[in-house]
Amino acid sequence: MKEKRVKLLFLLFLISFCLMFLRSFQLQVVDWEQYTLKVQDISTRILVEQPERGKIYDRNGKLLAWNEKIYQISNLGGILKEDTEKKLYSILKDSVDNPNTVIDKLNFQKKVILNINSVQALKIANLDSNLVVQEKYLRKYAHESLYHVLGYVDNEGYPRTGLEMVYDEKLRGNYGYNMLIMSSSKGSTQLVEKTHSIPGNNIVLSLDLDLQIKAYNYMKDSNHNGVILISDPNTGEILVFVSYPSPDPNMFSEGMNSLEYKKILNDKNKILVNRAVSSCYPPGSIIKPFIAYSALEAGVSPYATINSTGIYYLKNANGVIIDQLEDWNPQGHGETNLIKSIRASVNSYYYWLGENLGIDYLEGYADKFKLVEPTSIDIPFEKRGNFPGRKWKLDNLGEVWYPGETLRVYIGQSATTMTPIQILRMYNILATRGTYYKFNLFMKEEDFLGNIINKYEPILIDKYELNNDYLKYIYQGMIEVTTFEGPTYEQGTAFPAFKDFPITVAGKTGTAQVDREKHSHSWFAGFLPANNPHYSIVVFIEYGGMGSDTAAPVARKILDDLIINYY
């Protein structure tokens, strides 16, 4: 009985195996062509749905960056039918330059992006089941001056530089997906699953768009390249961030051909360079308030004087002249103390400080205050400056340090270089009597419903114990820069530019020599109101000449606009 049962089970197993083998043979050998065609006839496609990128606003609610709706047409089938091509041509003939080019792209590249209206998009979607229409977004920008702040998003939706890249995670949103099943023989497309995209969050920046545009235009009117920066030293917020010249970010977001890009890349004015954070320049006399304060810390009396004759002679231990250096005024400035040295920018006073204090002292003081270190502003590609000394020269040039070089460093020359944003940090420390709040452009983030996600709180990066008794002399000298009237050798260097300004500005001009064949760089930096600062400013004009003649008048113009808006 048991043996019969085993034989029966074996027989059933054998019959089942034979049936499976025969069916497999039929499917894979006899009917393989029929079933292969059926599988090929049905395919699944997943189309990505681009989310709307978050908008960017200025501090007053004005749009800096937003999205313009465009449409991507995808051909999921083969060559378009002749009737479809004719209808497509009819729809596009009044909207695009050459509808035939669009048709060719759909036939061979299988997709094209068009700037058409929603009615045209709907007509195209209903032409052929193989034509799928998706909404896309083209990034738009309010003004060309925003390139060095915002950067840009390319026409594929990828951020390439600037705050668009830094805050991409907040702005980009979440992609959606459409799953389609297509049957090529039936010419049908069926949507089987859809996940909606989620818009990105909006962000609000500390920039003031109106001031930004005016500052940019003042730089353009000066006919020089340069930088204008305005911040709140008590919070680190940036109101104006201009690096001139600048390309229009809309050119990048819309896409350009290789010839247009080469023109920008090879522009003699280097318009892609962010001069505010990525270029280093000799600061010249703009650094003198900091050096004057360091001298007070070293024990130099604010009442000590030197006699400026127009030329300063550096002598060795034997009394032999080994170098001679000039004041900007060939006739000299006469008897000069610390306050006058700032007011009239008397070089001889700082040569005297350099001879007495030496390079090691000043280099150590610059290190303590991180004078040439990156500021950690949320703009990418910030560079470090350079403060030279004995070790720097030996390491980089293989040479020993000479006494005459020390004197030149004390007027912001020699191999001393700083970025404009580093100059602004230095003046913010003076304005706040010793604190540096991280420079920041981000103020708050909101979702697409207007709910606040997070808000900026000032970040204290550095705090220095500055002596208020010493600062009053520095402040007085800087106030006299803009308010003291007198003969050329006595007058405040920015007095002509600020003589009728309604608010007291503590400032300093700078004229930084580059080489004999080019004009000097022109600087102005300061803060206002002088005794309770709310705003700090740096104006840098490349090869602009005297700071009093070029940078100071530009600073006056933008500060006129500032007080109209904020006072």
Residue bearing tokens 């610390």: 338
Determine the pLDDT at residue 412.
97
Task: Identify the CATH class of 209-566.
Answer: alpha beta
In 84-130 the beta strands, taken as DSSP E runs, fall at 111-114
Residues with Cβ within 8 Å of residue 550, at least 6 apart in sequence: 222, 224, 522, 541, 544
**Contact (CB, 8 A) for 346 and 333:** yes
Determine the pLDDT at residue 41.
47
**527: closest CA among 489, 564, 498, 496?**
498
**What is the maximal distance between C-alpha atoms in the chain?**
133
Is pTM, for the whole model, over 0.95? no
**328: closest CA among 302, 314, 349, 304?**
349
Q: Which residues of 454-466 are buried (b: 16+ CB within 10 A; e: fewer)?
A: eebeeeeeeeeeb
Determine the pLDDT at residue 34.
58
**Beta-bridge partners for 462:** 436
Q: Is 406 exposed, middle or buried (0-12, 13-18, 19+ CB in 10 A)?
A: buried
Domain ranges (residues) in the chain: 82-129, 209-566
Residues with Cβ within 8 Å of residue 213, at least 6 apart in sequence: 143, 145
**343: closest CA among 506, 541, 111?**
506
Q: Which residues of 555-564 are buried (b: 16+ CB within 10 A; e: fewer)?
A: bbbbbebbee
Determine the pLDDT at residue 433.
97
Q: What is the dihedral of CA 17, 21, 27, 30, to 10 degrees?
A: -150
Structure tokens at 120: 């045209």
DSSP letter assigned to residue 114 = E
Helix, coil or strand: residue 43? strand
Residue bearing tokens 């069926």: 190
Spell out the per-residue pLDDT of the chain, length 567, in tens.
Answer: 556 665 655 665 566 666 666 666 665 655 555 555 455 445 666 767 788 999 999 999 999 999 998 888 888 888 999 888 898 988 998 888 888 888 888 999 888 888 888 888 888 888 888 888 888 889 999 999 999 999 999 988 899 999 999 999 999 988 887 776 765 555 556 666 778 888 999 999 999 999 999 999 999 999 999 999 999 999 999 999 999 999 999 999 988 888 888 999 999 999 999 999 999 999 999 999 999 999 999 999 999 999 999 999 999 989 999 999 999 999 999 999 999 999 999 999 999 999 999 999 999 999 999 999 999 999 999 999 999 999 999 999 999 999 999 999 999 999 999 999 999 999 999 999 999 999 999 999 999 888 999 999 999 999 999 999 999 999 999 999 999 999 989 999 999 999 999 999 999 999 999 877 789 999 999 999 999 999 999 999 999 999 999 999 999 999 999 999 987
Percent composition of the chain: helix, strand, coil (DSSP 3-state, to 5): 40, 25, 35
